[in-house]
Amino acid sequence: MKDVEQFESKNPANMPEENEDMPLCQFIVDNGSLIACHNSSSIYLVQRGHRHLIPNAKVYDALFVSRHLVHFIGKRQLDSIPLGIPLSENACLIKGNNTDPVYLYSNEAKSHIRSAEDFNHAGFDWGKIHNLPQKEVDNITTIRDFIVEQNNKVVIKTNDIPVQYDADNNYGVLTQFTCKCKERDVTCNILLPSEKCRKGCEEECKEEYPVLYLYHGLGINSEWIHSDQGRIKQIIGNMVCNGLIPDMIVVMPDMMYSGTETKAYDFYRFKASLKELMSYVEDHYKVKKGKGNTAIAGLSLGGTTALYNAYLFKDTFRYVGAFCPTSILLYQPSRGITEPWIPKEEDFVLGTGEEDFTFIANGTADCSAGDTPKFYSRALRENGSDNVFALLPDGGHCWTTFRKLFYVFMAFDFFRKR
């Protein structure tokens, strides 16, 4: 790209040639950053854990406010970052004339830039946004949100979560069913957009819905639906009414055997019943099938189990969420874990497709999970699985935190609602 040599202290000409014996300082490569090798003029935009070539100066200037945004790194570090699809020659910033969201448009698809703060941190240029007819924007394929990190994490701000996010809302139908699996009977709470979502009912609807499998922690399954705890009906209802997510089916299985003394082990062996449960749901409810329409998430030990099940069934879940996941998944002797569910850390890999999305989050005051969520996130990155790690300031291991982290997870481009 032209004019790269104009960068001041970062000028590649001022940097020594890289050799095998030279210790190079490793730059933390965040999603949303601009990087280049100090002996090359090629500049890349990092997104989804991949580096995407910016083809020329014209494309760069159509997006970014300054040429002083690029971080120069060593060739070895650059080569360690997987190469993604280059930005297209017509890449630009767009928005509809009836809505606020701004998108990065490239390769005939749009990626939602989640906030003005993210827009500024990435160095995008407000003066370069193209205002288009809303219908034209709506007809463009939506891909994953544009992620902006700082030191490999997303810090959740107060304004990321509306005050009324869990206010009372009369959404859907909350009911219960029991699935007879080989291992055991699994009782589930299920949230439906309407009674018409049941197959075979008198007024069965034609529409099919994506499905989220949502796990509880070491408490009880009813906590997700309790008005003082999970408030799942209210959160989903408010997000649907505000156009943030589409109508969906939420399945909340009871992870534990009645009266068992080995609760944690029940979570581990739930894997034996999961596929049978999913088949039951698909047979009895109007579910959109396929990986792109299926999500899994959970809190505390349920979050750990969601990660474990996503690891076991990589081709099943497109969206994975773990809120304050606890230790047991990987070898962590510092936390007393010497017989983990996944014996080898290097085997811990989730879906690596362009649209696969893994969200791991924690509160900064969570003494129960501690640094385990960050450890899981880092292990995934090192194994080639991109993920979003988010922190909620002052969040503890409690329902106030779980609800907010669930909202943030759902607020990403979930099931392509835009």
155-182 pLDDT per residue, tens:
898 888 998 899 988 789 999 999 999 9
Give the tens place of pLDDT for each residue, 289-309: 999 999 999 999 999 999 999
pLDDT at 325 over 70: yes
Give the tens place of pLDDT for each residue, 81-111: 999 999 999 999 999 987 788 999 999 999 9
- Tell which wins on pLDDT, 285 or 227: 285
Scanning 63-127, the segments in alpha helix (DSSP H) are: 75-80, 116-122
Give the tens place of pLDDT for each residue, 62-84: 999 998 999 999 999 999 999 99
Average pLDDT over residues 210-237: 89
Average pLDDT over residues 39-45: 92
Cβ count near 137 (within 10 Å): 22
Residue 417: the pLDDT is 66
* 114: its two tokens: 């989640």
Average pLDDT of every residue of the chain: 89
Residue 261: the pLDDT is 62
Full set of structural domains in the chain with CATH: 1-152 (no CATH), 159-411 (3.40.50.1820)
Alpha-carbon distance of 402 to 392, in angstroms, equals: 10
Instruction: Please state the pTM of the whole predicted model.
Output: 0.88
- Tell which wins on pLDDT, 256 or 92: 92
Give the 3-state secondary structure percentages of the chain, helix then strand then coil, rounded to 5: 30, 25, 50
Backbone φ and ψ of 214, nearest 5°: -120, 120
Residue 259: the pLDDT is 62
Residue 38: the pLDDT is 80
- Res. 223 pLDDT band, cuts 50 70 90: confident
Integer-rounded Cα radius of gyration of the chain: 23
Give the tens place of pLDDT for each residue, 366-403: 999 999 999 999 999 999 999 999 999 999 999 999 99
Residue 355: the pLDDT is 86
Average pLDDT over residues 110-139: 95
List Cβ neighbours of 276 (8 Å cut-off, separation of 6 or more): 179, 181, 182, 186
Residue 418: the pLDDT is 54
Alpha-carbon distance of 275 to 389, in angstroms, equals: 28
List Cβ neighbours of 80 (8 Å cut-off, separation of 6 or more): none
First vs last Cα of the chain: how many Å apart?
Answer: 34
Cβ count near 227 (within 10 Å): 10
List Cβ neighbours of 192 (8 Å cut-off, separation of 6 or more): 172, 173, 174, 175, 198, 249, 285
Alpha-carbon distance of 289 to 312, in angstroms, equals: 19
- Closest CA relative to residue 123, chosen from 109, 104, 110: 104
